[in-house]
Copies of this chain bind each other. A is one copy, B any other.
Amino acid sequence: MTGFEPYKDEKFNPSGEVASRLNGRVINGIEVHGAIIPVSFKRVRDAIAKNIEEVKPKIIINLGLSPKITCIRVERVAINIMDGGPDNDGYTATDEPIVSDGPAAYFATIPVKKIVEALRKEGIPAIVSNSAGTFLCNCTMYHTLHYIATKKLDAIAGFMHIPYTLKQAAEKPPRSFLGMPPPGMPIDIIEKAIEIAIKVSAEYLRSRSL
Contact = CB atoms under 8 A, between A and B. Distances in A.
A134 interface: yes
A89 interface: no
B104 A169 contact: no
A134 B127 CA distance: 14
A131 interface: yes
A63 interface: no
A21 interface: no
A125 B170 contact: yes
Interface string A175-188: 10111111111100
Interface residues of A, number: 49
B180 A119 contact: no
Give the oligomeric copy count: 4
Contact of A170 (B126, B134, B172): B126
A171 interface: yes
Contacts of A76: 79, 81, 134
Contacts of A127: 174-175, 179-181
From A71, A120, A169, residue with most partner B Cβ within 10 Å: A71
Interface stretch (A8-16, A33-41, A45-53, A105-113): A105-113
Interface string A120-147: 1011111110110110000000000000
A133 B76 CA distance: 11
A182 B179 CA distance: 13
A99 interface: no
Contacts of A155: none
Interface in A36-86: 68-71, 76-77, 79-81, 83
8 contacts: A70-B180, A79-B130, A83-B128, A104-B105, A124-B170, A130-B131, A130-B133, A186-B189
Given A69-B180, A123-B170, 4 more contacts: A76-B81, A105-B105, A127-B175, A186-B186
